[in-house]
């Protein structure tokens, strides 16, 4: 991860930038500054997983309901997109310091996703993340009965920010909401549960974190929907 590309030099204005995240499509997220005034600059190739102006639309719509980064600037040039935002309090839930107490982190993540689903209203949501919009059901299977909410769209562990408040880990914000839209709540729950295995150490009893996360979220396991939306996610 070298220096930022030339089209963002004006944004940096001589300030140093530290790369803090490299994604699977070759994009880099840079942190500019420290503390409460820090900013973030996401730079990457135009791709279905990084549609800059879709991100901007969703961030600006969501900010009324949940804590998301405020947009400072965004653009696309020569096939490269950038999204410049203000920072939020807290750290990614995948931060190693937070993962040192995985039980508490799982509880906080479950509560955080439920907060998102409860806080963002279906009425008036202009975005969809339906099965049809994602290319259809995996293997042509019947779509389970819909329990619609406004989904985050990428509710994996790193995309929730956490900080300690009054001795307890709590959500301070949500990032990477470029696929946010109306869908079944299990469309978010499935990747959230998969991501726990990717980002957290296994529980002491060598099981997984599913039941604990679902208890914190406040829902019973639905094996049919979990299987369906896991396969849909993995189908890409």
Q: Which residue has the tokens 């909401």?
A: 177
Q: Check the annotation: does 176 bind a ligand.
A: yes
Residues 6+ apart with CB under 8 A from 60: 71
Q: Check residue 171 and report its DSSP letter.
A: E
Q: Check the annotation: does 159 bind a ligand.
A: yes
Residues 6+ apart with CB under 8 A from 161: 88, 89, 90, 91, 92, 93, 171, 172, 173, 174, 175
Query: Which candidate in 154, 184, 188, 205 is catalytic?
Result: 154
Q: Among 105, 70, 114, 73, which residue's Cα sits nearest to residue 199?
A: 105
Determine whether 154 is an active site residue: yes
**Token pair belonging to 53:** 């102006």
Binding residues: 159, 176
Binding residues for Mg(2+): 159, 176
Annotated catalytic residues are 154
């Amino acid at each position: 991860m070298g220096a930022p590309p030339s089209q963002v030099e004006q944004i940096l204005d001589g300030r140093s930038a530290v790369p803090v995240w490299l994604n699977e499509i070759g994009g880099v997220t840079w942190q500019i500054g420290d503390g409460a005034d820090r900013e973030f600059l996401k730079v990457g190739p135009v791709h279905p997983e990084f549609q800059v102006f879709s991100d901007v639309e969703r961030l600006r719509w969501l900010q009324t309901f949940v804590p998301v980064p405020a947009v400072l600037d965004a653009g696309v040039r020569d096939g490269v997109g950038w999204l410049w935002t203000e920072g939020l309090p807290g750290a990614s839930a995948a931060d190693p310091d937070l993962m040192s107490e995985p039980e508490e982190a799982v509880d906080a993540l479950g509560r955080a996703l439920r907060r998102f689903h409860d806080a963002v209203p279906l009425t008036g949501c202009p975005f969809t993340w339906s099965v049809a919009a994602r290319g259809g059901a995996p293997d042509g299977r019947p779509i389970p009965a819909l329990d619609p909410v406004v989904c985050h769209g990428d509710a994996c562990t790193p995309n929730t920010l956490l900080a300690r408040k009054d001795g307890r880990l709590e959500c301070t914000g949500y990032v990477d909401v470029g696929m946010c839209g109306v869908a079944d709540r299990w469309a978010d729950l499935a990747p959230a549960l998969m991501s726990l295995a990717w980002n957290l150490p296994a529980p002491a009893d060598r099981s997984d974190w599913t039941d604990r996360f679902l208890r914190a979220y406040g829902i019973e396991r639905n094996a049919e929907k979990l299987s369906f939306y896991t396969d849909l996610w993995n189908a890409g």
